Amino acid sequence: MTSPVHSSSETTTAPVLLRHAHGRGTLGGVGLVLAGTVSVQFGSAVAALLFPRAGALGTVALRITIAALLLLVVTRPQLRGHTRTDWAVGCGFGLALGGMNILFYQAIDRIPLGATVTIEVLGPLLLSVVASRRAVSLLWAGLALAGVYLLGYGGFGQLNASGVAFALGAGVMWAAYIVLNARAGARFPRLDGLAIAMTVAALLSLPLGVAASGGALLEPAALGLGLAIAVMSSGVPYTLELLALRRLPAATFAVLTSLAPAAAAAAGYLVLDQGLSLPQCAAIAMVVTASAGAVRTGHR
């Protein structure tokens, strides 16, 4: 997936839900967040290049399975000593992670990357608005909806109902991912919760990918691109954002990750030649502003 990602110890777009470390963000932390955001969005653009060979389901299966194997090798998670509740949280986290990516890849197979992420970010934005329970948050929600309306009205020229529906579904799963990610971080040390969740997501996506793409997943070119996508969209951003949240307040982190739609639009333009008009740029800017404003005014 797609979409900005969060560490296993903090939330991003809903900082009001959790307790987090205070302190001033460092320039290094800001750089880590921005690098992670760029990496995941360009990874999604590269993933779209694999669709003609492996299909959307095959591509997401390759990405998640390879990422899970890499995480298991690197982290060697401790599987003993956890309660049933711990495992329920870890498995729920994995289902949210897998569902988010499956729906996201279905969306970018149908509509441009920038439009997909712009619509998808409505999920975390709504979570932040609901959690804040402040009237001003409704203004940010209205601005975001106006931006999405402008996006559909002004174009990308390829929006269709199924693609928008998949993007909205990915947004719902992203909101669930945020909450379960934080809870898993409180129950599992290091990256253990993420490794377990990624394994669950692989078990969910791999049968779908094999059924859809079959032997195409084992072609050297597909495996090579799958490895690159796994590193760009999972390994690099997850690690960078985990490190960033140790240096930045969660609210600052959330504002920075609100730039995801803009990064996605840039990746779509540079990698996939998905052009942008002025109304489309304005629509994305409105959603980015709304997302950043919601997490700033909702912070306690």
pTM, two decimal places: 0.81
Tokens 């094999």: give the residue: 210
Neighbour tally for 48: CB within 10 Å: 21
How far does CA 232 lie from the centroid of its chain?
12
Sequence-distant (6+) residues with CB within 8 A of 147 are: 118, 282, 283, 284, 285, 286, 287, 290
Q: Report helix angle 161-187 to 122-132, nearest 10.
A: 60
DSSP letter, residue 171: H
CA distance 12 to 31: 16
pLDDT at 129 over 70: yes
CA distance linking residue 155 with residue 74, whole number of Å: 43
What the block records as the tokens of 256 is 């920075």
Question: At 11, phi and psi to the nearest 5?
Answer: -95, 170
Q: What is the pLDDT of residue 173?
A: 93
Cα–Cα distance list, 99 to 104, 119, 159 (Å): 8, 16, 21
pLDDT of residue 23: 45
Q: Which of 46-60, 127-141, 199-213, 233-247 has the lowest mean pLDDT?
A: 127-141
Cα–Cα nearest to 258, from 150, 180, 146, 144:
144
Asked whether residue 87 carries a pLDDT value surpassing 80, the answer given is: yes
Provide the pLDDT for residue 160: 83
More confident residue, 293 or 231: 231
Q: Between 10 and 188, whose confidence is greater? A: 188
Residue 76, sorted as left (phi over 0), alpha (psi -120 to 50) or beta, turns out to be left
Cβ(277)–Cβ(111) under 8 Å?
Answer: no
- pLDDT score for 10: 36
What tens digit of pLDDT does each residue of 154-165 get?
555 557 889 999
Confidence (pLDDT) at 156: 54
State mean pLDDT over 84-96: 93
| Confidence at residue 237, expressed as pLDDT on a 0 to 100 scale | 87
